[in-house]
Structure 1
Amino acid sequence: MSQDIRALATEILALCTQLEETCNDSGIPSPSLTTDTKSNFWSKPELATTRTTALGLLDHLTTLLQGPHDFLHEFVSSNWDHGALYVFLQSQTLEHIAQTGRSSLHDLSKHTRIPEDKLSRILGLLRCRHIVAEPERGVFSLTAVSEELLEDGDFCAWVEFQLFETRVASAHLADALIHKPNGYADGVSGFKEGWGMEMYDWHARYPEKGERFRRAMRGVSRALDPADSLLESWIDQHPPTSRTKIVEIGGRYGFASVSLVQKHPDLSFEVRCDSQDFLDRGSAQVQSGCRDRISFTRCPSLFDSQPVEDSRTVWVYVIQNLFWNWSDVDVIRLLRSLKEVSDKSTRILVTDGVSPLSGEFPAHEEIAYRRRDVTTMTMHNVKQRRQEEWVAVFGSVGENVQVETTFERSSHVCKGLWEIRFGGNGSD
């Protein structure tokens, strides 16, 4: 065991030395948690692999040093850290400290109406987590960690969503799984078990939480979702035919077309969705110079047969982040409606999450994808399909379906882009 610990520590030291040398050679400032930190240490692609490998080894070393009992104790005790952080955000303590630079406990108590003794204990825990600093006794300031929450409001909304809705839902997953039947088609989500209704219905009832969720999804997608990158790469690698129209179908909290129309002046776009509210939100984000090349169409049902004129005008259909919570039957039904108005030159691009095989990635990378599996189960009682499940669904649309797959992953999610063609021989 001591040799294992020594070997891990030696490898971690070597990786940290490598990081330091790369930073020195490239002029990258060393990381710091002080406010106004401008280091791009955490975002530089050339450091990413070394950083994540070192973090994975460090996590393994930490677990070995703790032992089973202490590991489990620390693992579950972070619940209280999360509760303290939610108080910090909901009470606007973050904003008040930011406005003043340094705030006394007395001023913060007066501002938040939280008794000083209680607030001191909350801030004391957050200080241990490097979320606030205490440069003088009873005086608090921000750190680079809390500044991140201040500077990116959408990401902060995602943090609050995780601290509130998902904590309650995850606490009720065990009870949800007791119900019989408890399959994906006939079971109950942890969210519904905890909140009494499904998540989207709950957000509709509490619109302020619904708006926070929309911001949260926008923030996490912008930072961590590779779907847009996959679509961009495909379009760059496939010059359009005589047809130059792209039709996007669906899109609950964001449309790929809104960004694509700004980057591809030679293409036109149409967004089709069953929600006028979502269409209005998407339309509001389009730059004025692009409005003549994008339209937004409300479809009472996405399953209705597509317009016959599509067979003469549409080059590509885009379906981004739509099928993840659809049944196989509904996925096949929509794709068959597109098949009716497609020919051999039409392409359908589906981008969605993939559950990778167990052990396909190192544990420190795989954990994010396994969390995603549990997230979709807890929040919606649906599963992330594996690659073979996706291909099987697409193959069920009809004969002579061809499928080509491209994968891309981030620290948050593994995404696939499936190019679907009708006609020809076989599929791959």
Structure 2
Amino acid sequence: MSQATLDTRKLVVDSAPWVFQSLYVAAKLRLPDLLADGPRTAADLAAECEVHPQALYRFCRALAALGLFTEEPGERFTLTEAGGDLRSTAPGGLAHFVVVNGEESFRAWADVLYSVRTGLPAFEHVFGMSHFDFLAANAESSKSFNAMSGAGVPGVVAKYDFAGAAVIADVGGGTGGLLAQVLERFPDARGILQDTPAGVAEAEAFLTAHGLADRVEVVGRSFFEYLPTGADVYVLSRVLHDWSDADCLRLLRALREAMGPDARIVVIDNVIPQVEGYHVGKFSDLQMLVVLGGRERTAKEMTDLLVEAGFAVTSTLTSDAVPGAPRSEALFEARPTGN
């Protein structure tokens, strides 16, 4: 989309908080799940959700206008194919994304000028704590965030060869979706899954369900406090964009000290192309600033960060855009220098 074809008025209306927060109501109340077996009246849905019947009808009517539901006589609603994408179990984790960004993140964005004026995350200004401290103190929010984060494994992972690695450590790996996929491809390898206690809260159940519990050591500690030793490959997937350059350097340098001289790291993250025009990464970068204090980076910025931390980038891979969105991710393999 070029600047010349951008319809500013349509962009403002279509992306207004009215629309997003209506999607939030649907996802939070799990309306698509409740409609999955057939049409129901707004009153019936309201009784099950314990909300106001007429208020819910009005939201369902608006959601029908967006194409998520079909409205029938008698204030009855049917789920459409598009609405099915907001089911809590739908691939891609869209429902979890909407819930996370419709709750605490939405409140942080209401004070976005604080970030513009200070360069600091508005989230901390609003809540009095960092986003990850908030998740540690709020189990329901943490569950939604973990479900969102673990909903999709970067496509570029499937292109990377982990052959020869006896132990693979997924640092900041959440529930373990990426590590599970890798271990299924390389059955001779073992894994270490590390994240905060809140981050790995559901990892044991997930790994057991995938038959991998006996091949993975789960470590519930912050990677700023402890890093495992003895792995052949250390994976940082969608981790560094959560943090400032200073925090990334602190993590990467600590990782360099923990890893053996022949080990390597694999960094996977969104990359912002150095081109004019619209790209979703330029807006997810703002989310990193306002909520987390991190940033999306260009490929050069990521390479420069790794070099400054004492690594040499030995190879890179790029993934295709995620279907339906111009999202770009890249994988950077790097090895410690000076060994």
- Looking at structure 2, the residues matched to 86 and 110 of structure 1 have their Cα atoms a distance apart, in angstroms, of 19
State which drifts further: 138-147 or 252-261.
252-261
**Is residue 146–residue 174 contact of structure 2 (8 Å, CA) maintained in 1?**
no
State which drifts further: 320-329 or 372-381.
320-329
- Unaligned 5+ runs, structure 2: none
Pick the aligned partner of 1:209 from 141, 149, 152. 141
1:176: Cα distance to partner?
3.4
- Looking at structure 1, the residues matched to 41 and 244 of structure 2 have their Cα atoms a distance apart, in angstroms, of 54
1:299: Cα distance to partner?
5.8
1:376: Cα distance to partner?
0.6
RMSD over aligned CA atoms reads: 3.5
Q: Residues 207 and 113 from structure 1, CA distance in 2 versus in 1: closer, same or farther, beyond 3 angstroms?
A: closer
- Matching residue of 2:217: 295
**Is residue 243–residue 292 contact of structure 2 (8 Å, CA) maintained in 1?**
no
1:173: Cα distance to partner?
0.7
- Looking at structure 2, the residues matched to 82 and 174 of structure 1 have their Cα atoms a distance apart, in angstroms, of 20
* Equivalences for residues 215-234 of structure 1 within 5 A: 215-219=147-151, 222=152, 225-226=153-154, 229-234=155-160
Structure with more of its chain in helix, by fraction: 1
Pick the aligned partner of 1:391 from 295, 303, 308. 303
- Matching residue of 2:73: 136
Q: Residues 297 and 306 from structure 1, CA distance in 2 versus in 1: closer, same or farther, beyond 3 angstroms?
A: closer
- Looking at structure 2, the residues matched to 134 and 407 of structure 1 have their Cα atoms a distance apart, in angstroms, of 43
- Looking at structure 1, the residues matched to 17 and 77 of structure 2 have their Cα atoms a distance apart, in angstroms, of 23
Q: Does 1:161 align with 2:100?
A: yes
Q: Give TM-score scaled by structure 1 length.
A: 0.65
Q: Does 1:251 align with 2:173?
A: yes
**Is residue 258–residue 282 contact of structure 1 (8 Å, CA) maintained in 2?**
no
**Is residue 302–residue 334 contact of structure 1 (8 Å, CA) maintained in 2?**
yes
2:265 partner SS: strand
**Is residue 355–residue 369 contact of structure 1 (8 Å, CA) maintained in 2?**
yes
Q: Residues 354 and 90 from structure 1, CA distance in 2 versus in 1: closer, same or farther, beyond 3 angstroms?
A: closer
**Is residue 252–residue 322 contact of structure 1 (8 Å, CA) maintained in 2?**
no
- Matching residue of 1:374: 286
- Matching residue of 1:197: 129
Q: Residues 396 and 176 from structure 1, CA distance in 2 versus in 1: closer, same or farther, beyond 3 angstroms?
A: closer
Deviations 1:249-296 (A, max 9, x none): 33345463222112211223333x363454453333225754443333
Q: Residues 391 and 86 from structure 1, CA distance in 2 versus in 1: closer, same or farther, beyond 3 angstroms?
A: closer
2:232 partner SS: strand
**Is residue 258–residue 285 contact of structure 1 (8 Å, CA) maintained in 2?**
no
Q: How many residues align?
A: 332
- Matching residue of 2:207: 286
* Equivalences for residues 349-364 of structure 1 within 5 A: 349-359=266-276, 363=277
Q: Does 1:317 align with 2:234?
A: yes
Q: Residues 72 and 257 from structure 1, CA distance in 2 versus in 1: closer, same or farther, beyond 3 angstroms?
A: closer
- Looking at structure 1, the residues matched to 303 and 175 of structure 2 have their Cα atoms a distance apart, in angstroms, of 25
Q: Does 1:418 align with 2:328?
A: no
- Matching residue of 2:191: 269
Deviations 1:288-312 (A, max 9, x none): 75444333345676566864xx4xx
Q: Residues 137 and 61 from structure 1, CA distance in 2 versus in 1: closer, same or farther, beyond 3 angstroms?
A: farther
Pick the aligned partner of 1:125 from 62, 65, 75. 62
AA matched with 1:122: F
2:233 partner SS: strand
Between the aligned residues of both structures, percent identity stands at: 21
Q: Residues 216 and 412 from structure 1, CA distance in 2 versus in 1: closer, same or farther, beyond 3 angstroms?
A: farther
Rg larger for: 1
- Looking at structure 2, the residues matched to 199 and 131 of structure 1 have their Cα atoms a distance apart, in angstroms, of 31
Deviations 1:18-71 (A, max 9, x none): xxxxxxxxxxxxxxxxxxxxxxxxxxxxxxxxxxxxxx59x98683xxxx5x43
1:285 partner SS: helix
Pick the aligned partner of 1:326 from 243, 247, 252. 243
1:81: Cα distance to partner?
2.6
State which drifts further: 415-424 or 350-359.
415-424
AA matched with 2:103: F
Q: Residues 81 and 321 from structure 1, CA distance in 2 versus in 1: closer, same or farther, beyond 3 angstroms?
A: closer
- Matching residue of 2:40: 103
- Unaligned 5+ runs, structure 1: 1-55
Pick the aligned partner of 1:405 from 307, 316, 320. 316
